[in-house]
Amino acid sequence: LRSASQLARAADCQASGQAVATAVTTHDVEGGARQQSFRDVAGTVLQQEARRRTIMLGAEEAARETKKAARKKMRQGVRQLWRCCGSAGSFCCITLVVIPALFLLLSLCFASVLYRVECDSFRDAFHNASDDADGVSSADMCSIYEWFKYIVGNFVGLATPITDVSPVSGHVIAEMTDLLFSVWVIVLGGTIIAVINSFSIIGLMVERVDQVFLSRAAKAQALYMSAEGMDFEDFKQLAADHGSGDVPEAELREIFAKYDADGTGLIGLDEVDVEALFEDLRKARGGAAGGRASSSLRSASSPKAADKSDGAAGVECVGAVSPAAGAAVNAPAGATGAVRQRAPVHSSAHGAPQQHGAHHSAHHGAHHGEHQVAHHGEHALLLHRATNASIERLDQKVEGLDARMEDLQRQMEGLEQRVMAKLDSLLSAVPSPALATEVRAIEVKAVLHQPR
């Protein structure tokens, strides 16, 4: 009976061991599934992080391009300010201070020579008399200030002299000094005029007056006045002068063919509406600039295999908006170039509408450029907001995944503790050393196969 009881207990222990082995195997399968789940979660987190970094890099690239364009615009403004204000300051300093000071110093030198010669001759001739026959006093003849006024009055050509003194001694030194200064006045005046004319502010003033009274559109229309007409090379030069030099040649050829009505390869004045031509060039320039900027940023910041989840909106915004679009708007320049007329002009009034049309096109292009700058600024702000929102959503998802992983880890630790407690209870109830060894092997196997 005792042996039968021991065998029954051994059979029960063996059945319990098999149940534990089955539980351990099930635990291994569940652990492998959890590991695969962890790998999937980690892969998702890494993908989200990569996309978030891509969005941040695109936003940083857009911000850098915007800052670079702003710095470039500021440097251009400083150079233009220095060109204007610096030239004006130097012009005022030279014309109001330096040239008058040099002239007065030179006049004082000549006046001192005349003063010495004429004063001594006057005193010797009239024996220090109070007045001579012409009413000139000795004090005036012997005053260097009076002779200084005499020299300055001769230089500026005053109609009414400001002094009564003049060389009357007949001394050769006084006469030669007076003649020499009269000749030097011509040279000095021409030199001063040349110096003043060399200032850049004078050129700016002349250019501004020229733009007011003879606009660049009028210059371009004047170049139409030839009998041959305008070929494609002249048309390309006209497009470059009009600010459309970056338009592809294929588009320029389409525009050229549009206005070459007779297909001779030459555009004459009778075939061209100048206002419509400049409007087509402006549209082509705007399309080329927009497409170039959009494609450059899309290739720099948009991922190739981005799926349509929460971060895709930010990536698409980065790819759709050019970071340098706010600074790349070219104001339409005046149309100048080698343009020739095919047919002669029938009346002088025919050029006025064309000049007005070109001027209107230039004004409309400038207004369109300002509107485009504001429009791209709004797009940059929307891009920044969309990027921040996508990053916040990604951060929230990452936090949720971290919490889920911690919960799964706690569940696995609890399951391991329960399995180990079950094994300990079985070992304490088993009297057979062989069965204890088998259960210990199962325990070691469970420990070896638990997920790290």
377 lies in some domain: yes
407 lies in some domain: no
Q: Please give the residue that has the higher pLDDT: either 52 or 218.
A: 52
Residue 175 has pLDDT above 70, yes or no: yes
Residue 172 has pLDDT above 60, yes or no: yes
259 lies in some domain: yes
416 lies in some domain: no
Q: How far apart are CA 376 and CA 353, in angstroms?
A: 34
111 lies in some domain: no
Residue 49 has pLDDT above 80, yes or no: no
Which segment, 72-86, 101-115, 263-277, 341-355, is predicted with the most confidence on average?
Answer: 101-115
Residue 346 has pLDDT above 60, yes or no: no
Contacts of residue 25, Cβ cutoff 8 Å, sequence gap at least 6: none
Q: Which residues of 383-400 are buried (b: 16+ CB within 10 A; e: fewer)?
A: beebbeebbebbeebeee
Which segment, 77-86, 145-154, 164-173, is predicted with the most confidence on average?
Answer: 145-154
Residue 143 has pLDDT above 80, yes or no: yes
Average pLDDT, the chain: 67
Residue 173 has pLDDT above 80, yes or no: yes
Q: Please give the residue that has the higher pLDDT: either 372 or 306.
A: 372
Tell me the longest C-alpha to C-alpha distance in the chain: 176
Contacts of residue 84, Cβ cutoff 8 Å, sequence gap at least 6: 201, 204
Band of residue 169 on the pLDDT scale cut at 50, 70, 90: confident
User: How many other CB atoms are found less than 10 A from the CB of residue 138?
Assistant: 17
Distances (CA, A) of 390 to 63, 78, 112, 315, 385: 17, 39, 86, 9, 9
Q: Lowest mean pLDDT: which of 85-89, 106-110, 185-189, 336-340?
A: 336-340
DSSP character at residue 264: S
For the residues 1-6, what does the mean pLDDT come to? Answer: 71
Band of residue 265 on the pLDDT scale cut at 50, 70, 90: confident
304 lies in some domain: yes
45 lies in some domain: no
pLDDT in tens, 313-337: 333 333 433 333 333 333 333 333 3
Q: Please give the residue that has the higher pLDDT: either 416 or 370.
A: 416
For residue 333, what pLDDT is reported?
37
Task: Tell me if residue 336 falls in helix, strand or coil.
Answer: coil
Q: Is 61 in contact with 324 (CB distance < 8 Å)?
A: no
For the residues 76-98, what does the mean pLDDT come to? Answer: 78
Contacts of residue 188, Cβ cutoff 8 Å, sequence gap at least 6: 103, 106, 155
Its pTM stands at: 0.32
For residue 69, what pLDDT is reported?
85
102 lies in some domain: no
pLDDT in tens, 252-262: 888 888 877 77
For the residues 228-255, what does the mean pLDDT come to? Answer: 77
Q: Lowest mean pLDDT: which of 114-128, 276-290, 293-307, 371-385?
A: 293-307
Q: How far apart are CA 354 and CA 374, in angstroms?
A: 30
Residue 10 has pLDDT above 60, yes or no: yes
Q: Is 366 in contact with 331 (CB distance < 8 Å)?
A: yes
For the residues 140-159, what does the mean pLDDT come to? Answer: 82
Instruction: Give 427-438 as a DSSP string.
Output: HHH---HHHHHH
pLDDT in tens, 385-426: 667 777 777 778 778 877 878 887 787 777 777 777 776 666
For residue 267, what pLDDT is reported?
73
For residue 228, what pLDDT is reported?
56
Q: Please give the residue that has the higher pLDDT: either 284 or 315.
A: 284
User: How many other CB atoms are found less than 10 A from the CB of residue 103?
Assistant: 18
- List the domain range (segments joined by +) for residue 353: 223-401
Which segment, 51-60, 244-253, 265-274, 426-435, is predicted with the most confidence on average?
Answer: 244-253
Q: Is 220 in contact with 238 (CB distance < 8 Å)?
A: yes
Residue 9 has pLDDT above 50, yes or no: yes
For residue 381, what pLDDT is reported?
65
For residue 295, what pLDDT is reported?
52
Report the number of secondary-structure helices (H) and strands (E) in the chain: 14, 0
Q: Count how many domains the chain has.
A: 1
